[in-house]
């Protein structure tokens, strides 16, 4: 290589470091506390890489008083010989060239892309000062950098034992770059604990020299088995932790899991020690294997007695805590946060290994298999119960005002304060009411025949009743415990039934429903009973309406009609004309034309409506139960006692 080529390379290095310093967030995410701690993780990752290929088993971290950090390992040490192409120490290349680290060692599991694996050169570029010491070939080598630029060439500074190897990096984050430059012991410790769980052969020590010299050491012989137990510390495990280990398609795979008494699913998946928050192919492989193997086991051993129950994947994961840790040579990270493994071959690698090993485990540990299946079956049962509850809730949704009943003729004004709804007995009266109303503020809901007696029906039957469903959705405020009077679409609910025995029964049924399921409407004084006239009295072109017998007599007296004429006309619909006066009795609302219905019963200027009030809730409760409940005797007593008030409303 010529001298020119050499200086060209140096210029490229400077350009690289400059790029990192110009846009640090591109490389480490951000320059806040998160990015700061990322520097430690980045350096440690290099040591972990060395541990993963079996050359290092000790990592030490020291947070110094001046907020510099030392990361030390007992790996092979970064090579220091002169790089043939670069014509300088390989150590200098690793420390100054972006992504140079991986090029030296193809066998290790490096992380390409994603948050990690940007290389120690990035840490170097973002450090005010970085010093590296390498023990290798019986000597100690040293180099220092300022903002990534070597201060001097690599220098041998001493001797050590030939078998003594390792790398020590000490760096001070650049205060020009970072907004935060104080390290948090707990933040560092948390990641180190995770790494120690994921790499059972290593010991990680952290020392904080700043205050009191806090020190902690992590070493977990059980690896991810201990990790799972740690995660389930507050839960009651149902069995000993299951551990699966092996290699498929050059992919080392480790899985540990257990079921506890909880109902949550806690699966943590890792690729090359990186938590794949978004999951990916390895997670899919695991889930598939779990579902299939447990299902097969259950059928083979006749553990599913109720053949109506089918277990879903979710049932097999309720109360499951699992850690999946795999190593992939060339991981493809996808997803929003680049934490989803995309390598397609990984799915079947994990699936086949876990499937085989789990089946074996279950054969060898029948009591554990039984316990797991019991738990999954309970989950399936609970899911079925939950589904029913959801269906009910969904049915309730069908009752909201998004699905207004087809036969509702709504009003055009939407302000409930100025709106009223007439609940009308029968389609023909409903038709007249629809034509006669003021459609701006009056809505009409015709009901067919007798509505269900809610006092005698179970809630599911009540909700199946078309007339009741129509009322609930028209009012639009829910029902029962969830009734919210504030959502009522109308300020007045007016019950309009015929002035006969059937009409009175229907009115009672409606009031029973409103009392039991929309009580707040009654207590708020929003429920009314329409007062259609009983008689129409006509003299010439003049028309009079009588709402009860007393009124009729009074009108007739005014019109100077004698008693005989009355008697002849009151019993039939046919108009009796006596001395030019005709009296007709309305048997049903349907006999009134729209215009008549408007003037007599619906026009707020001229109508009379009875407000339904609750003098005593307890008493009302008793009355409804007596009138509408199962017991016959108390009802008869009530009717006998109240017969003289038969026409009175509650």
Considering the complex, what minimum distance in angstroms separates the CB of residue 66 from ligand 0RA? 22
Distance of CA 384 to the CA centre of its chain: 18
Residue nearest to ligand 0RA (CB): 46
For the chain, the maximum distance between any two Cα atoms, rounded to a whole number of angstroms, is: 138
Catalytic residue among 128, 214, 226, 502: 502
Element (H, E) at 517: helix 501-517
Active site residue 498: yes
Catalytic residue among 30, 128, 164, 500: 500
Considering the complex, what minimum distance in angstroms separates the CB of residue 138 from ligand 0RA? 14
Instruction: Report the 3 state secondary structure along 102-143.
Output: HHHCCCCCCCCCCCCCCCHHHHHHCEEEEEEEEEECCEEEEE
Considering the complex, what minimum distance in angstroms separates the CB of residue 105 from ligand 0RA? 4
The percent of the chain in helix, strand and coil, each rounded to the nearest 5, is 40, 20, 35
b/e per residue 384-394 (b: at least 16 CB within 10 A): eeeeeeeeeee
Active site residue 551: no
Residue 267 is given by DSSP the state E
Which positions touch ligand 0RA (CB under 6 A)? 46-47, 50, 73, 75-76, 78-79, 94, 101, 104-105, 120, 167
| Burial class for 615, CB neighbours closer than 10 Å (0-12, 13-18, 19+) | exposed
Q: Which is nearer to ligand 0RA, 94 or 443 (CB)?
A: 94
Active site residue 315: no
Catalytic residue among 49, 133, 498, 566: 498
Considering the complex, what minimum distance in angstroms separates the CB of residue 94 from ligand 0RA? 6
Q: Which is nearer to ligand 0RA, 95 or 495 (CB)?
A: 95
Q: Which is nearer to ligand 0RA, 120 or 521 (CB)?
A: 120
Considering the complex, what minimum distance in angstroms separates the CB of residue 168 from ligand 0RA? 9
Distances (CA, A) of 510 to 407, 408, 447, 467: 18, 17, 10, 10
Strands (E), 390-534: 420-425, 442-447, 492-496, 527-530
Q: Which is nearer to ligand 0RA, 47 or 442 (CB)?
A: 47
Q: Which is nearer to ligand 0RA, 53 or 413 (CB)?
A: 53
Q: Which is nearer to ligand 0RA, 105 or 568 (CB)?
A: 105
**Residues 6 or more apart from 648 whose CB is under 8 A from it?**
none
Whole-number Å distance between alpha carbons of 294 and 255: 16
User: By the 8 A CB rule, do 131 and 144 touch?
Assistant: yes
Active site residue 502: yes
Structure token pair of residue 378: 């309970």
Considering the complex, what minimum distance in angstroms separates the CB of residue 79 from ligand 0RA? 5
Catalytic residue among 425, 467, 566, 591: 425
Distances (CA, A) of 296 to 161, 338, 347: 57, 35, 20
User: By the 8 A CB rule, do 56 and 47 touch?
Assistant: yes
Considering the complex, what minimum distance in angstroms separates the CB of residue 42 from ligand 0RA? 10
Q: Which is nearer to ligand 0RA, 46 or 401 (CB)?
A: 46
Q: Which is nearer to ligand 0RA, 47 or 241 (CB)?
A: 47
Strands (E), 125-275: 127-136, 139-146, 149-150, 155-159, 166-173, 203-208, 214-218, 242-248, 251-259, 266-271, 274-275
Considering the complex, what minimum distance in angstroms separates the CB of residue 205 from ligand 0RA? 15
Residues marked active site are found at: 425, 498, 500, 502
């Amino acid at each position: 290589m010529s001298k020119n080529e050499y200086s060209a390379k140096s210029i490229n290095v400077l350009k690289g470091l400059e790029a990192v310093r110009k846009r640090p967030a591109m490389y480490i995410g951000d320059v806040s506390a998160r990015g700061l701690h990322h520097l430690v993780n980045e350096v440690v990752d290099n040591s972990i890489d060395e541990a993963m290929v079996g050359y290092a088993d000790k990592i030490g971290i020291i947070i110094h008083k001046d907020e510099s950090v030392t990361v030390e390992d007992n790996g092979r040490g970064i090579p220091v010989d002169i790089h043939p192409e670069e014509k300088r120490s390989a150590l200098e290349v690793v420390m100054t060239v972006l992504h140079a680290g991986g090029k030296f060692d193809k066998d290790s599991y490096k992380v390409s892309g994603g948050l990690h694996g940007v290389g120690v050169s990035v840490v170097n570029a973002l450090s005010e000062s970085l010093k590296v010491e390498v023990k290798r070939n019986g000597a100690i080598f040293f180099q220092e950098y300022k903002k990534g630029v070597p201060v001097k060439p690599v220098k041998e500074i001493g001797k050590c034992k030939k078998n003594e190897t390792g790398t020590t990096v000490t760096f001070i984050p650049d205060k020009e770059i970072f907004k935060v430059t104080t390290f948090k012991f707990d933040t560092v410790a948390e990641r180190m604990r995770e790494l120690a769980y994921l790499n059972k052969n290593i010991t990680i020590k952290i020392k904080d020299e700043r205050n009191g010299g806090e020190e902690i050491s992590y070493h977990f012989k059980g690896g991810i088995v201990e990790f799972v137990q740690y995660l389930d510390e507050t839960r009651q495990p149902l069995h000993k932790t299951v551990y699966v280990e092996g290699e498929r398609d050059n992919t080392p795979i480790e899985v540990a899991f257990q079921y506890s008494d909880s109902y949550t699913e806690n699966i943590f998946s890792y690729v090359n020690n990186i938590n794949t928050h978004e999951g990916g192919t390895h997670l899919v492989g695991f889930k598939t294997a779990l579902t299939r193997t447990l299902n097969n086991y259950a059928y083979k051993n006749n553990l599913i007695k109720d053949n109506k129950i089918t277990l879903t994947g979710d049932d097999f994961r309720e109360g499951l805590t699992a850690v999946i840790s795999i190593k992939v040579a060339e991981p493809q990270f996808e997803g929003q946060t680049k934490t989803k493994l995309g390598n397609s071959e990984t799915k079947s690698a994990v699936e086949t290994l876990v499937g085989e090993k789990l089946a074996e485990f279950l054969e060898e540990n029948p009591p554990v298999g039984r316990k797991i299946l019991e738990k999954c079956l309970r989950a399936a049962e609970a899911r079925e119960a939950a589904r029913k509850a959801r269906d009910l809730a969904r049915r309730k949704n069908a009752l909201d005002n998004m699905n207004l009943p087809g036969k509702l003729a709504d009003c055009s004004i939407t302000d409930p304060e100025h709106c009223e709804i007439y609940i009308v007995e029968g389609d023909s009266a409903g038709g007249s009411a629809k034509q006669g109303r003021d459609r701006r503020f009056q809505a009409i809901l015709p009901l067919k025949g007798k509505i269900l007696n809610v006092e005698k029906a179970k809630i599911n039957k009540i909700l199946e009743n078309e007339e009741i469903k129509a009322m609930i959705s028209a009012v639009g405020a829910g029902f029962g415990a969830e009734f919210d009077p504030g959502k009522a679409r109308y300020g007045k609910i007016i019950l309009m039934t015929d002035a006969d025995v059937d009409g009175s029964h229907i009115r009672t049924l409606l009031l029973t429903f409103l009392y039991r399921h929309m009580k707040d409407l009654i207590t708020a004084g929003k429920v009314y009973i329409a007062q259609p006239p009983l008689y129409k009295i006509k003299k010439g072109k003049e028309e009079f309406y009588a709402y009860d017998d007393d009124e009729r007599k009074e009108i007739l007296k005014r019109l100077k009609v004698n008693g005989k004429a009355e008697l002849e006309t009151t019993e039939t619909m046919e108009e009796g004309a006596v001395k030019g006066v005709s009296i007709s009795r309305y048997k049903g609302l349907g006999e009134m034309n729209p215009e008549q219905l408007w003037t007599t019963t619906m026009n707020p200027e001229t109508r009379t409506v009875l407000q339904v009030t609750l003098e005593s809730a307890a008493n009302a409760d008793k009355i409804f139960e007596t009138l509408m409940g199962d017991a016959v005797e108390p009802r008869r007593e009530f009717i006998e006692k109240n017969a003289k008030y038969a026409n009175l409303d509650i």
